[in-house]
């Protein structure tokens, strides 16, 4: 069965899924974000096969969300978030918040987030860029944008 190319759809959600929709990709990005930048570190933490990790890393590099930086000899590479990849961390934090609310169970969330600016444990909230009010799905109307299919 051939995989649908979400990247060609006139939908930003579909296009984003084309980059990080495969289940290992967000977990790789999470690990790189917290400082696991080497192949062996990623493989050990995720329990992923070398083949799959190699494919996922190549895809994320090709998509411009990770960059390879050589270290040591052979050469070996570390993986680092690009500016494009760093913005995906915001999405990962929203996903983590949803998981904390709906899937964490009685034990509570597995990870807490300390905000650098105030030093407090916090969570992500979506707010309107114009008025600053909290923004949820029921608070907006999706309208066709300039990139919508005609």
Q: Where are the domains of the chain?
A: 6-139
**Tens digits of residue pLDDT in 80-131:** 999 999 999 999 999 999 999 999 999 999 999 999 999 999 999 999 999 9
Helices (H), the chain: 12-20, 24-33, 39-46, 50-62, 83-103
CA distances from 125 to 4, 69, 79, 108, 120 (A): 32, 33, 29, 19, 15
- pLDDT for 136: 92
CATH number, span 6-139: 1.10.10.10
Q: Which residue has the tokens 């066709």?
A: 144
Q: Model pTM?
A: 0.90
Structure tokens, 54: 């190699």
Strand partners, 66: 81
Instruction: State how far the Cα of 64 lies from the Cα of 61, in Å rounded to an integer.
Output: 5
124: Cβ–Cβ under 8 A, 6 or more apart, which residues? 90, 93, 94, 97, 113
Structure tokens, 78: 């570390």
Instruction: State how far the Cα of 116 lies from the Cα of 118, in Å rounded to an integer.
Output: 6
**Tens digits of residue pLDDT in 25-65:** 999 999 999 999 999 999 999 999 999 999 999 999 999 99
Q: Which residue has the tokens 């949803």?
A: 98
């Amino acid at each position: 069965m051939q995989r649908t190319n979400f990247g060609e759809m006139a939908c930003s959600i579909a296009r984003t899924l084309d980059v990080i929709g495969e289940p290992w990709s967000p977990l790789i990005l999470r690990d790189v974000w917290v400082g696991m930048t080497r192949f062996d570190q990623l493989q050990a933490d995720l329990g992923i096969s070398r083949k799959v990790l190699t494919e996922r890393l190549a895809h994320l590099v090709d998509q411009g969300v990770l960059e390879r930086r050589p270290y040591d000899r052979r050469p070996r590479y570390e993986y680092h978030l690009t500016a494009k990849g760093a913005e995906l961390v915001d999405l990962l934090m929203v996903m983590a918040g949803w998981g904390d609310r709906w899937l964490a169970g009685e034990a509570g969330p597995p990870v807490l987030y300390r905000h650098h600016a105030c030093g407090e444990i916090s969570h992500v909230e979506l707010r309107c860029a114009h008025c600053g009010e909290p923004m949820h799905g029921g608070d907006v109307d999706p309208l066709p944008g300039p990139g919508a299919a005609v």
